[in-house]
Amino acid sequence: MLEKTSCCKVNLLLNILGKRADGFHDLETVMHPVALCDRLVFERSGAGIRLACSDPRLPVNSKNLVVQAAALFAKTAGLGCGDGVRILLQKHIPVAAGLGGGSANAATTLLAMNELFGHPLPAGKLEELAATLGSDVPFFLQTKPALATGRGQIIQPLEPFPALRGVSVVLAHPGFGVSTPWAYHQLANFPSSVEGKPGRAQRLINLLQASLAAAAPEFYNALEAPVLRKYPLLELFQEFFRENGAPVSLMSGSGSATFALVPGREAAGTMLEKFRVKFGPGCWTAVVPSNS
Ligand code: C5P
Catalytic-role residue among 136, 144, 230, 274: 136
Whole-model pTM: value is 0.97
Q: Is the dihedral of CA 93, 98, 101, 104 positive or negative?
A: negative
CB 212 within 8 A of CB 263: yes
Q: How many CB atoms lie within 10 A of CB 21?
A: 5
pLDDT for 81 equals: 83
C-alpha 245/C-alpha 241 separation (Å) is 7
- DSSP 8-state secondary structure symbol assigned to residue 244: T
Q: Please name the residue whose Cα sits nearest to atom 12 of ligand 1.
A: 181
C-alpha 107/C-alpha 255 separation (Å) is 20
| Cα of 181 from ligand 1 centre, angstroms | 6
Q: Which of 212, 224, 260 is nearest to 240 (CA)?
A: 260
pLDDT for 157 equals: 98
Ligand 1 pocket test: which of 184, 223, 254 has the largest number of ligand atoms within 8 Å of its C-beta? 184
C-alpha 48/C-alpha 121 separation (Å) is 19
Q: Is 9 a catalytic residue?
A: yes
* DSSP codes joined into one string, 139-194: GGGS-S-EEEETTTTEEEE-PPPGGGTTEEEEEEE-SS---HHHHHHHGGG-GGGG
pLDDT in tens, 77-90: 999 888 999 999 99
Q: Please name the residue whose Cα sits nearest to atom 9 of ligand 1.
A: 181
| Cα of 24 from ligand 1 centre, angstroms | 6
Q: Which atom of ligand 1 is nearest to the CA of 180?
A: 8
List C-alpha distances in Å: 232 to 11, 225, 281. Answer: 20, 11, 18
Report the run of H or E that residue 44 belongs to, with start and end: strand 25-44
Q: Please name the residue whose Cα sits nearest to atom 21 of ligand 1.
A: 151
Q: In a structure prediction context, what are the per-residue pLDDT tens digits for the chain, which is 292 residues long?
A: 999 999 999 999 999 999 999 999 999 999 999 999 999 999 999 889 999 999 999 999 999 999 999 999 999 999 988 899 999 999 999 999 999 999 999 999 999 999 999 999 999 999 999 999 999 999 999 999 999 999 999 999 999 999 999 999 999 999 999 999 999 999 999 999 999 999 999 999 999 999 999 999 999 999 999 999 999 999 999 999 999 999 999 999 999 999 999 999 999 999 999 999 999 989 999 999 997 7
Pairing mode of beta strands 146-149, 154-157: antiparallel
Residues with Cβ within 6 A of ligand 1?
24-25, 27, 134-136, 151-152, 180-181, 184
The order of strands in the sheet holding 248-251 is 248-251, 258-263, 167-173, 284-289
Q: Is 136 a catalytic residue?
A: yes
Ligand 1 pocket test: which of 28, 135, 155, 223 has the largest number of ligand atoms within 8 Å of its C-beta? 135
Catalytic-role residue among 4, 9, 83, 144: 9
CB 28 within 8 A of CB 148: yes
Burial environment of residue 256 by CB neighbours within 10 A (0 to 12, 13 to 18, 19 or more):
buried
| Cα of 137 from ligand 1 centre, angstroms | 12
Ligand 1 pocket test: which of 29, 180, 194, 221 has the largest number of ligand atoms within 8 Å of its C-beta? 180
C-alpha 52/C-alpha 139 separation (Å) is 25
Q: Please name the residue whose Cα sits nearest to atom 19 of ligand 1.
A: 24
